[in-house]
A and B are shown apart, each in its own frame.
Chain A
Amino acid sequence: MLDTIFFYLFALLTLLGAVLTITRRSAVHSAISLIVSLVGVAGLFLLQRAEFLFAVQIVLYIGGIMLLFLFVIMLVNLDRAERERQFSKAWWLALACVVGVGAEIAYFLTKGPAAFQFPPGAASPGVASAAAGGNVERLADALFSEYLLPFEMASLLLLVAVVGSVILAKKRI
């Protein structure tokens, strides 16, 4: 009951924020709408019992990425961009593509729950879920055993991204 109310609340936040993000004229308004949308997504993570990702979403997305966006909006002069046309000339083509994909998804949804049936083997508990404990413990178990190599490569990727963005944003390359 409470879950249902909270789901619709967070879903409303997510979709409303997303629609405002792509329709606002001012980039700052878009960024703030995107923050609202990301808060909604974080709430959905919490409803799905993914507490660690809820914290990561708040700290990393809203605290990190959106701060980066807001700083860049301040660094770039957007006065001219705000006075001009906001949508590209081929917006109807974009809308047609999205409506097409939406119709495709809706077709599968009208097939009802049968579209969401999975083979019985798919739901067998994996190695990671065999270990008892809370969400964070299970996640750490999987991340530091099964996914250790991708985890280390992710840190390397972040290092490369930091160095790359510093070099790209320098005055003289």
Chain B
Amino acid sequence: MLHPITPAHYLILSAALLLIGTLGVLSRRNIIIILMSIELILNAVNINLITFSRLFDQVNGQVFAIFVITVAVAEAAVGLGILLAMFRNKETVQADEIDLLKW
């Protein structure tokens, strides 16, 4: 009844996580939750990298996952700093109310 887990299982899970994260980025208004959805997308990428690292028996994928996590940390720190500065100026965290550059 229980099938053994193949790399395809991990890839399907990673694709689902990527789609959920993309939906969050595209449809939510709250910028904090958009940043969290970006973390979901990066985690989906990491699952993919680890799966192929295991499949090919190389550690290169794990090294890249470490770099992805580094970039995620930098992105979260800078993104939340921008969010604080923006909240101080415009008193809002809704993405569609920050429309200064909109035509």
Scoring B2, B30, B40 by chain A CB atoms within 10 A of each residue's CB, the highest score goes to: B30
Which residues of A have CB within 8 Å of B88? 171
Q: Which of A19, A52, A116, A118 contacts B20, CB < 8 Å?
A: A19
Q: Which residues of B contact A113 (CB under 8 A)?
A: 8
Mask, A89-129, CB within 8 Å of B = 1, is: 11101110110011001000100010010100011011011
Say yes or no: A129 contacts B20, CB within 8 Å: no
- Give B contacts to A, CB under 8 Å: 2-5, 7-13, 15-17, 19-24, 26-30, 32-33, 35-37, 39-40, 43, 46-47, 50-51, 53-60, 62-63, 65-67, 69-78, 80-85, 87-88, 91-96
Q: For chain A, what secondary structure do more than half of its interface residues adopt (helix, strand, loop), or is it mixed?
A: helix
**Least distance between B64 CB and chain A CB atoms (Å):** 9
| Contact indicator B95/A53 (Cβ below 8 Å) | no
What residues of chain A have their CB less than 8 Å away from a CB belonging to chain B? 1, 3-5, 7, 11, 14-15, 18-19, 21-22, 27, 30-31, 34, 37-38, 41, 44-45, 47-50, 52-53, 56-57, 60-61, 64-65, 68-69, 72-73, 75-78, 80-81, 84-91, 93-95, 97-98, 101-102, 105, 109, 113, 116, 118, 122-123, 125-126, 128-129, 135, 138-139, 141-143, 146-147, 150, 154, 157-158, 160-162, 164-169, 171, 173
